[in-house]
Every structure is written in structure tokens, then in C-alpha cells.
Structure 1
Amino acid sequence: MPLRAKVTNPALTAATMSTSPQIPREKPRDPPDDVLFNSIYGLRSIELNRPQKLNSLNGSMVRKIAPRLEVRMGEISSCKHHPHFGSRAQGALRRWRCCGPGATEPEKGGEGQRKSSYFFKQEYFLDHMIATYSKPVVSFMDGITMGGGVGLSMHAPFRVATEKTVFAMPETSIGFFPDVGASFFLPRLDGEIGTYLALTSERLNGVQTLYSGIATHYLHSSVLSNVAQRLSELVFSDHSTLDQRVDIVNNTLAEYSLGLPSLQEEPILLGGGLRTAIDRCFQFNTVEEIFQALKNETEYKHWAKETLKTLSSRSPTSLKVTLRQLRLGKKWSIAEAFKREHEIASNFMRHPDFVEGVSARLISKPPRQAEWKPATLDQVSQEEVDAFFYAPEDESVLKLLDKEDYKESPHSRIALPTEAEIQRFITAEAGYGISKKQVVNKFVEMCNQKEGVREKVADVLARRTVMQEDGLRWV
């Protein structure tokens, strides 16, 4: 079935979008020590201090962090092994060690829905501040990066993975949807990688996050303290542009690379024939078609069978809303993505699957399979899915601090080249007798010898090109 036209919301008017927002402020009852602040060598240090919850982001932490971002200076970092955020005094640079999974435990009833919706409003407000920040932001994804940690990481220009990185968007397993700006960044990953990660909650470890486009750099965890120290010493001219500062940080990170694991050790997980199968099965605009494609898969039967098993355990409502979110999100700007996600999140707060999913997967000991309502895909109507994309009558539109907006990441050039970029190059060079080796070398040169480029480009060429008498052709 073809994808329907984009759902519009009359609440998203120019008047409501231009209203000045309020910066989240700390409340008297907020715990005093869930975020720790110190000054070190002229830097303001902010440390996430909620280890019993894997440093998962909550409203109190957001209310402490957001005002510090507003002043555009200081350092923010978290506990060991959990993704850190900091800056040079004078507001030149920030680095972020982001947090682990989870955000809020749902409460039943209208008051619980109101509290949850308010938390998501604060969380998305903070994430958007990072996405539109006026200085380079470096996220060290050195550990579990899920839930709120994804929101703090994925909107940074620099996203540094290590051998300890574990990335996932597990929301469909708890009756929710991939939020924190996933509407923006997942559809912009190569092919159907974003769709696959969103629907299945597949985990990516270490260097796999670099190859997939989640991370922009890969460093060994042993060098992070030295990197942080070096970044804190960087001094930028008052007249330097953001792009110039980004280039300086990019070169600095490259200095500390110890190399990538060999492809013999760690082949590209979402590459080769499996990647072709992912694109083949997850290209459709309905979940039912994806299920059927997996059932029909012949080349990767075992993978398809396991994937079907995984999807069958997910909330049918979550799967359908998530797929629609990703297809629409391809055209959403960064600001619209957060506004629309707040509408979707507010509706999920009123849906039984979210409370049931969190209770079954996160609270029950041992975890159990959730009992979804509706229980099957065919019981979830298109009208029910559409309703998630309209703000509930008692919800106000999310107001964001920064008016800056964009539809493509302004710093994508520091990541590995995308398949679209490689395709454009091959298409432009068609008929000139160029070889695969020449293409790989050209991209390595254009990307200043960036590690991972050679492996990524070679994988794309192997899957998507054929050699003819007059050179490579894209297929």
C-alpha cells in the first residue's frame, strides 16, 4: 500500500512556533546530587551522578543541565563508561559523555500522563539545544547509549564510539517509539538501516556504529582522557567560524586514533549480502509488507526467521507508528521532528502498550513478554496510527529555544561518506573508465585519510556497482 500524504497538524502554526519558550529550571524538590558541578582549570564540570539507574536521564537532570547550556560555556561529563560533555572556557568547545538507557517510568492515570508528557517536553527541548548549538559538541559514546543517551549523543557533530559502545533504540519493545530526534537521524542513515534499527531494536557494538553512520569517529577508550584534556586546551580565535572550529576538533580527534579493528576481526555487520537483504525486506511502507518480505526471503533465511521472531514480540501499534514516523521524518526539519515527536509521545502516554511494555520488560523480575492491546497488526487500523500524529487537545505545542533549523545535518562532512555521496560520484564518473580502486583512493583522499572510509566505500562498491568496459556503473 502506498504511503499516505504527510499528516499535518493545525496546531503547528507560525504563531505558536514563534512563542518564546521557558528554559527548564531546577525545582526545590529535585535531588541535589544527581548532577555534580565543579570547576577545574577554569572549566565548569558537570557530572551525571545517577549510577543506580545507569545515569538515565530524568527531569531533574535536564533542569540542571539546560541552564548551563544556555550560558554557552562549561564542561559536562558523566560517570565512567557512560557517555560526556564539556567545553573550553570562553565557550569555544563542548564535549559530552552521554548517559545510558531509560528516561521515565510511566504512571497510570491522567496525572501520570501529564508528568510524562512534561518530561518529554523538557528532554526534547534539551536535545534541540544540542542539535542547534553554536559550538562544536563532542559526544563520547563510551558505553551504553540508549534512550536519553541517544538524544544527548546523536545531535552532536562529533560522535565518538569506542570498543565499549553499545547503541540501540529499544523503544518498540516497551510499547513506545524511537524518539529523542530519531525521526530526523534514523531516516537519513544509508538505505533501510534506520528502519531496521528502529523496528527490531538491533544493537550495534563498537566500530559497527561508525560503519552504520551512528558514530562519526572511533577511538579506543584508553585514549579518551587524553583526548578530553587536549580538547580542553584548544583555543579558538574570536573571529573563527563554527566550520573552522569543527575542522580543528576533527583534526585533533584524528591525532588520537589507534586504528580500527581489522575486517577479519570485525567485518561490517550491516554490510555485504546482509545489508542487501535488509534493504530488500525493509523498503516497504507498511509493516505487513515487511513481514511478508521476510517470510519470502530466500538468501538469508535464518536471519529473516529470527527477525520475524523479534518483530512478532514487539508492540503492533509501536511498529506501525514507528514506520510511519520514519517515512514522514525524511522530510521533517530538526525542529519539526522534535515538535512532532512530542505529539506522538503524548499520545503514547495515553496508550496501554507503554505502561504494559515498561512493566513487562523493565519492572517485572524476570522480564516477561508484554500483552499488547491490540495484539496483532491487523487489529491496528490506519486511523489509529494517524491519530498519533495529532497533538491531544490538552497538549500545547513544544516550544524550542533556538530558531535555527535545518533539514540536513550541517556537519555531515566529518562522518564517513554516505551511499548517496558515493552514488553521485559514480554517476558523475560513469563512462570515464574509473575503477573501484581509484574510487576508494579518491574518497580516502577527499576525507583526509579518515579511518573507516576505505572499508565503507569498498563495501558499498561491492554491493552497488558493476564493472563494465567503460568503467563502474551504479546498479
Structure 2
Amino acid sequence: MSSTIVRYGALPKELPSDDPDDVVFNSLYGVRTIELNRPKKLNSLNGSMARKILPRLREWEKSDMANVILISGAGPKAFCAGGDVAELALQNKKGEAGQKESADYFALEYKLDLLIATYSKPYVAIMDGITMGGGVGLSVHAPFRIATEKTVFAMPETTIGFFPDVGGSFFLSRLDGEIGTYLALTSERLHGVQAFYAGIATHYLDSSVLGPLTTRLSELVFKDSATLIDRQELINATITEFTSSLPAPDSYPKAQYGNLTGTLREAIDRSFRFDSVEEILEALQREAQSSDTKVAEWAKATGKTIALRSPTSLRVTLRQLREGRNWNIRETFIREHKIAAEFMRHPDFTEGVSARLIAKPPANPVWKPNTLGEVSSSDVQRFFDQPSAAETIELIDPHPGSPSQTYTDYPHAVFALPRESDIQTVVKSYGSAGSQAVVKEMVRRWKNKAGVEEKVQDVISRKTTETDHGIVWQGRGPNL
């Protein structure tokens, strides 16, 4: 990080042309709500919305009356389906000035995402409905991310000649095993509880209880001496009050490959652990010969999916995830802005958006270059060159009491299901007493959180071996 320039600037101001009604703010006792209000556009995030939300979040940080921030989307279909990329593609066609304007939008968006990732007060994101792209940036870095039966999560950027941004370098690379690589390269969708088990959401609730939950959160009273983690723990316990039984992750016909467990998960980790797209495709070809019919069908479908993606996007995305493992949260957004700015100048983004989203009916994009072999290492390197002072985005300076902007792992990770690394640690300590002893200890440590037992049992079945002395963890680490 030492070679990365860090700059801070002022909060953005609304423009006269901004829509006054695209975000609705409200108060209910100690809760401050943000409602994204573009339901006809599936609440897609634009500059007007970001210019409203950023200063309001900072205002609430300074207010003793604001205890909890809750963000949601208007309408029944979406929390936020992404950024308004169609507008960006049209701007890019204007040449260098338009491309600079598009890059400035990403700077604004990433400022907001980093503020959320390091916010000094409890922040709850309601991922009720479509949650993709820019909507992921508004939610996935929060300590509380609530999925419902209507949640549809995806990072579909390679489909349009882009890369999984909004901090994808950070959160995708820190998911268990190769889940993040798989989701990033394929744009696979996760429905409902699948997002919870994958580690995207921290909680799963039925959408019918969201109203009562908001009311309950508004009634919470924090001690003046309560730290941020104290407040978050109370909120975590409160959300848990509304949790009922979880649906099976394989009960979503529209996401037949979204249940990332068992033999499918083993195949994902085997196939997506490589550092070149070619090796991943070769691994998928091997999996396509599997005697497991489900795995073979998945491998064939996944190979075909990747072949449709922008070759440049695939190469940049894979390198982004590998390097992003070592970036802190602030560096993530500085480096991603450089990558985004390069994509605004690259023909694939404008081509992908125009073909997939603007053309009626949608068409197949013509990528340039059109094959992996034509994308050279120097083509990829320019996306990862350190940004100059002029290229470096201005961030919002941290508020007193905020989490560090240089953390390398989420300080609130404990509110989600345990990660494989957590389970591995307990296996080493309790494995000699058998699998049930490990499950019992994990459930105890996670305070009887719904879903812990199911996840631990799946991990034990995939990652441990039964011996005369209990269970033993396989391999060299949780990512293998």
C-alpha cells in the first residue's frame, strides 16, 4: 500500500439537474432510513442518488439522535439492480470527455462504498429483491446484510465487458474457497438463502417481518458508553429475534447451481483455483467427464458461460481477485477506480452495455479482442498500474470512531456464518472428540445462529477425514 497515493476531498454537492425524489430519507426514533426510489429502473444507482446519500450519512454520523442506519429499495422487485451503466455507455461514445465523466461517476460511487465499509454507526442493508453491481456496493460491506426469499444476488459485470467492482476485489476474494472466483467469472445468480450460506448475507429473514424489524430497531436504546461493537452485537441479537426456519438452498429452480455445497462445491474449488483462465477452462473440461451427472452438467454449462464473456474482462477479473486478497479496504477502491477508468476507455464496456442492455432485442457483443489468446499481458497490466496523483480518486476522510480504512479483513465478519477458516480452527482443537463435538462448539461460539449447524456439517463432510482419533482437516488450508 506504501506506493498507493491517498487523497481526501470534500463531500459532493447536489446538482440542479438532480432528481429530488430518487432517494427518500426518513426517521423513526433512533433509526434513519434510506430508500432508493427508482423502482421503474430497479433502483439503479446514479450520481444524483450518491450525491444525496453521502452527505446525509456524514450528517448522521455527527448526530447523537441517529442510532441505526437502514437502507432499502422501493417497490417489490429490487433493492438495487446496479449502477446506471446505460448512461455511462452513452457518455463513453462522446470520446475522452465522456469517458472522464464516466470515471468520475465511479469515483463518486466508490467514495460512498468506502464510507459504508468504514461507517462509525451500525448500518443495516435490506437486500430484498435484485441486488447486483452497484447495489452490492451499497450492502455487502455492511455489518448487517439481510437476504429474503426475494433476494437475487449477482456480480454480472463480465457479461457487459466490465469487472466486478464496488469492492469486489475485497469481498469476493475473501469468500470461502473459490466461491468468489466462480461468482465473478460466471455471473452466477444466488437466490434467497443461497446468498446467506455463501457468505454474501449475514442473515436470512422472510420479507414479511421487515416492517416489524424496523420498528423493533427503532426502539433500541444504547448506553452512552457503548462502543460500535457493543451496538452491533445488540442489533445482531435483535435481528436474530426475527429469524425463523431456513429454506433448503437447493429449493430454487431458477438457481440450480446456486447451492454451493457438497460435490458441486468441491468441483468449484478444484476448477477455479488456478491463476489463468485457460487452466480454469481446462479444469472444467475435466469435470465435464465426471461420473457425477450433476457436476458434469454444471461443468459443461459453466464452460459455455465463460466462453461468452469478454476475454479482457475475464483476464482482468481473475488477476483482480488474486491481487485483491492483499489489498486493504481503502486501497481496494483506489485500485478499482483505476481499473474502472481503463474500462471506460476500452471498447468492450460500451459494446457490452449497448448489445446486452440498450439494443432491442439484446444482441451478442463483439468483443475486441475476441479471444483470450489475443489479450496480452501488457493489455492487462495497464489496468493494474499504480494510479498517478491526477488519476487517484479523492476519498471522504474517516469520522472519529470509524473502523480503520486500512483493515484487511472485515471487523464485523463474526455476524455472518462462520467461515471455513473458523471451522478449521475448531476442528484442530475439538476434532479428536468427533464431528458432533465440532458442530456443538461452533453452534455455541455463534450463539445458536440459524444455519451454523448446516454449514459446519457440510464443511466437515468435504474438508475432514474420519480417523481412529476423531476427525482431521484435509489439505493445507481452507482455500484448497
In 2: Cα distance, 1:248 partner to 1:394 partner: 42
Q: 2:16 maps to what in 1?
A: 28
In 2: Cα distance, 1:151 partner to 1:264 partner: 26
Equivalent residues of 2:271, 2:283 under 8 A apart:
yes
In 1: Cα distance, 2:248 partner to 2:24 partner: 39
Equivalent residues of 2:153, 2:191 under 8 A apart:
yes
Residue type of the alignment partner of 2:43:
N
After TM superposition, give the deviation of residue 129 of structure 1 in Å: 0.5
After TM superposition, give the deviation of residue 291 of structure 1 in Å: 0.8
Share of identical aligned residues, percent? 55
Q: 1:99 maps to what in 2?
A: 80
In 2: Cα distance, 1:159 partner to 1:264 partner: 21
Residue 334 to residue 393, structure 1, CA distance change in 2 (3 Å): closer
In 1: Cα distance, 2:32 partner to 2:423 partner: 42
- Matched residue SS, 2:384: coil
**Which 5+ residue runs of structure 2 have no aligned equivalent?**
73-78, 399-403, 475-480
After TM superposition, give the deviation of residue 383 of structure 1 in Å: 1.0
Equivalent residues of 1:125, 1:401 under 8 A apart:
yes
2:285 to 269, 283, 295: 295
The worse-fitting range, judged by mean Cα deviation, of 197-206 and 289-298 is 289-298
Residue 156 to residue 276, structure 1, CA distance change in 2 (3 Å): same
Residue 45 to residue 452, structure 1, CA distance change in 2 (3 Å): closer
2:266 to 267, 273, 276: 276
The worse-fitting range, judged by mean Cα deviation, of 88-97 and 293-302 is 88-97
After TM superposition, give the deviation of residue 257 of structure 1 in Å: 1.0
Q: How many residues align?
A: 448
1:385 to 380, 385, 410: 380
Map 1:15-414 onto structure 2 (within 5 A).
17=6, 19-41=7-29, 45-72=33-60, 90-97=65-72, 98-104=79-85, 105=87, 106=89, 107=91, 108=93, 109-262=95-248, 265=251, 269-297=259-287, 298-299=289-290, 300-390=295-385, 395-403=390-398, 404-405=404-405, 406-414=407-415
**Which 5+ residue runs of structure 1 have no aligned equivalent?**
1-7, 75-87
Residue 392 to residue 41, structure 1, CA distance change in 2 (3 Å): closer
Equivalent residues of 1:346, 1:391 under 8 A apart:
no
Looking at both structures, which has the greater relative contact order when contacts are Cα pairs under 8 Å and sequence separation is at least 6? 2
After TM superposition, give the deviation of residue 51 of structure 1 in Å: 1.8
Residue 41 to residue 244, structure 1, CA distance change in 2 (3 Å): closer
Residue 392 to residue 339, structure 1, CA distance change in 2 (3 Å): closer
- Matched residue SS, 1:349: helix
Residue 441 to residue 356, structure 1, CA distance change in 2 (3 Å): same
The worse-fitting range, judged by mean Cα deviation, of 452-461 and 231-240 is 231-240
In 2: Cα distance, 1:9 partner to 1:172 partner: 30
Equivalent residues of 1:346, 1:392 under 8 A apart:
no
In 2: Cα distance, 1:319 partner to 1:382 partner: 13
Could you state the TM-score of these two structures normalised by the residue count of structure 2?
Answer: 0.89
Equivalent residues of 1:347, 1:392 under 8 A apart:
no
Equivalent residues of 2:249, 2:259 under 8 A apart:
no
Equivalent residues of 2:29, 2:218 under 8 A apart:
no
